[in-house]
């Protein structure tokens, strides 16, 4: 089998209403699809996601790297030699890569290669990876800022997740430590003590401010505080992990096993969160998970549940997966676009199921593709 072509499609769909965390305002969902075609007629599909802005500059940079740098290295190669191809692409982009857009480009290609391998083998990816449990626990992620009536909307959203059967929920913090502590208290009182409450600060604070906030919310039994400081502030993470009674989680903005080696070896976090579309794809995600397992550390995901469900179902140290059900995401195309695997479309009792279809089990809705396509390369 040989790779005969690498094609990309860029899509953007605006949200009905912009949403905000502590770091940014998100106006929609932009996605890059990568199709790897072969001489046997089998095609694997991978994805990358952007910042949710109509201009899509981030996605266009990743697209350019795939087409101009990675595609020439891939043509004529055996797509089943995934680890070999990962090393080839990584070494071939060292001068302008190692982190950021180049690794994100490699990630989307790697995801496509695993999808292709599963289709060739007639097996779902989670089984190819070893398989741990098809049933995957998910936490309901949301809790964005809503303006003047923020607390009322926040409480309604979080209690709605609990009524839907979720046993863990996540909300945004990272603006004002005092006001955020009041928001946390309101949510904890509303959802009760039996539901796990996770917080995400989106890199907004320095270590000192984060510690002030932690002191205020520690009595509310917080499951973890995610990304309290900038991703490159490793010393800040170490300081927080040494002093905080709340576990610290991070990693969605980290790249490859080399970046995670420092987070894990220095005990900078209690939970690692590699994103399969950023860390280096499925190949690298599993290596990070195994590295974390060797240190007795859980490995949890960031967004993109349609792909992450396959790796979480294969990792014994992945206790749950991030899952978006907020109306803004349901109405945007990211959750509509992948109409399969069916088990990922709606969580029941706080769980979803990995697809048993060959590959990643993704089916693309042609009507949604036509509606939201911004650019196609052939």
Catalytic residues: 172, 200, 226, 252, 275, 302, 322
Instruction: Report the C-alpha gap between 218 and 214 in whole angstroms.
Output: 6
User: Which residue in 171, 182, 243, 165 sits closest to 217, CA to CA?
Assistant: 182
Instruction: Report the C-alpha gap between 344 and 94 in whole angstroms.
Output: 36
Work out whether strand 222-226 and strand 271-272 pair parallel, antiparallel, or are unpaired.
Answer: unpaired
Instruction: Report the C-alpha gap between 65 and 291 in whole angstroms.
Output: 28
Residue 94 is given by DSSP the state: T
Over the range 123-153, which residues count as b (16 or more CB within 10 Å of their CB) and which as e?
bbbbbbbebbebebbbbbbbbbbbeeebbee
Instruction: Report the C-alpha gap between 120 and 337 in whole angstroms.
Output: 23
Exposure on the CB side of residue 339, measured as CA atoms within 13 A: 7
Residue 105 is given by DSSP the state: H
Six token digits for residue 100: 């950021």
Residues 6+ apart with CB under 8 A from 339: 345, 363, 364, 365
User: Which residue in 350, 357, 349, 342 sits closest to 306, CA to CA?
Assistant: 342
Q: What are phi and psi of 30, to 5 degrees?
A: -115, 135
């Amino acid at each position: 089998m040989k790779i005969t072509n690498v094609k990309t499609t860029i899509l953007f769909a605006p949200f009905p209403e912009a949403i905000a965390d502590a770091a940014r305002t998100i106006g929609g969902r932009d996605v890059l699809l990568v199709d790897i075609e072969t001489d046997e007629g089998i095609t694997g599909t991978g994805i990358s996601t952007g910042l949710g802005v109509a201009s899509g500059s981030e996605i266009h940079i990743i697209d350019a790297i795939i087409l101009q740098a990675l595609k020439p290295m891939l043509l004529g190669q055996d797509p089943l030699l995934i680890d070999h191809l990962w090393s080839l692409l990584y070494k071939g982009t060292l001068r302008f890569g190692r982190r950021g857009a180049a690794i994100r480009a490699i990630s989307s290609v790697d995801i496509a290669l695993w999808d292709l391998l599963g289709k060739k083998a007639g097996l779902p990816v989670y089984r190819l990876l070893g398989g741990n449990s098809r049933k995957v626990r998910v936490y309901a992620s949301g809790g964005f800022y809503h303006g003047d009536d923020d607390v009322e909307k926040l409480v309604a959203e979080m209690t709605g997740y609990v009524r839907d059967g979720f046993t863990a929920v996540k909300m945004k913090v990272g603006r004002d430590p005092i006001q955020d502590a009041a928001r946390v208290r309101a949510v904890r009182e509303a959802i009760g003590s039996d539901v796990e409450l996770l917080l995400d600060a989106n890199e907004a604070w320095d270590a000192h401010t984060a510690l002030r906030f932690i002191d205020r919310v520690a009595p509310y039994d917080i499951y973890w505080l995610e990304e309290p400081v900038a991703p490159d502030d490793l010393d800040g993470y170490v300081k927080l992990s040494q002093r905080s009674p709340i576990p610290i989680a991070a990693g969605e903005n980290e790249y490859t096993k080399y970046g995670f080696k420092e987070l894990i070896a220095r005990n900078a976090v209690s939970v690692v969160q590699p994103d399969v579309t950023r860390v280096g794809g499925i190949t690298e995600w599993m290596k990070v998970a195994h590295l974390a397992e060797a240190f007795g550390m859980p490995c949890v995901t960031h967004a993109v549940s349609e792909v992450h469900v396959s790796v979480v179902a294969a990792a014994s140290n992945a206790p749950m997966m991030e899952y978006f059900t907020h109306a803004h995401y349901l109405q945007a195309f990211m959750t509509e676009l992948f109409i399969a695997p069916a088990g990922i479309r709606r969580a029941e009792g706080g769980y979803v199921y990995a697809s048993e279809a060959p590959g990643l089990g993704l089916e693309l809705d042609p009507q949604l593709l036509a509606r939201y396509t911004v650019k196609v390369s052939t």
